[in-house]
Structure 1
């Protein structure tokens, strides 16, 4: 449903107790979200940003603290980031061939996407005790429209790819009524994510090479689509683990990777 990424910082040791009930032990254990502790991380939000930045440069702030510093700067720059994102969005609706094409196809299915339901907002990231940083670039909701995470937009082309990804989701929903959360069948979500990553342009060779540092030519496009689809399926609440996510993506891969509708072919 959304374009998301995760990075890692060293996990933080936490203490546990043995006073859990049998029912709690049977439930999946979701990693705890970490909040900043200046004594542990070296980042103090009450101190001027430039002092914290200097501390980062001198190695006085842990990777966890650097994460919290990054989020604090996003909060401080929220208005500026959203204004910039709005400008990029308006450009895409007026000049991007992919976005214009998808908007027209969505309108033919009695849907509508414009500045009223394609919104730019700051999206807080989450750092969990296992050391994983969870971010997203955007998201689609059948009830509300498309969210673009203004603080994660790198440039105009990045927004174009993110918006195209979510617009493919919108087209799929109008055409097929996708089970986005995978409550009935995770294959719906897997197929939708394969198609969105394949058709949006986010896995084209230039982005993988110069943005993500992937210089492998052979099967690069397929590997990127598969990897991003697995990550997105894994984020569904009904997905048990990465093994299940890979299995479901593999089950629908051949049919969904060959489905380029509403395009005639993959050209981005």
Structure 2
């Protein structure tokens, strides 16, 4: 699986298996990877259905598949079932896919890249979230939304341990005690702000907008470069309620630009915004 021509290489991380590393400079919104799935099964496929999909692969494909991480080696007799449980991604409404290259991208709760499923082309894509220097590891988040930006380190680690059998040791989860407490407080506040937005009565729209601005400030303080569209889209809807069309356009543009950068301009997320 030579990926050098794609702008990244696959190599040893030195501490947690293999990973993907930038071979060139990326800026926010750059497309890092477009990959066709090795196979597709239903999201809740049984072991026999995954085994059938694996059996349809070539010997070379099965060899590459066998080299991926298996977090459930001690739990399941069939190694390919464990590899599927460790590496499969959700795709669309009810499918699950396995991608050889994408599976090499490791997790961070402060990711510098984001993965998504592009329904129209039926490809798995990864876009950069920020500037990435050559040699930096390319990191995505295996959990999404408030499970990552609105949860404490202990909560994130527990979720990842239950899902994938590892304890996250990313930069956001292994800070010195004082910095970790401040980070946890910011992320907890983000969830409180999100939960509070629907509770504001219409006459308190300025306070709701201030809550959105506060959330975006917290995301920046956390060096978290995804999901700002969640809050910007809410702000656009608030302004539309009051027919403040100039503000609607400004917040809608913020939403659109975030979705273009994170999912691509031809993604349904960007088009729908």
TM-score by length of structure 2 reads 0.30
TM-score of the two chains, using structure 1 as the length reference: 0.30
Bigger proportion of residues as helix = 1
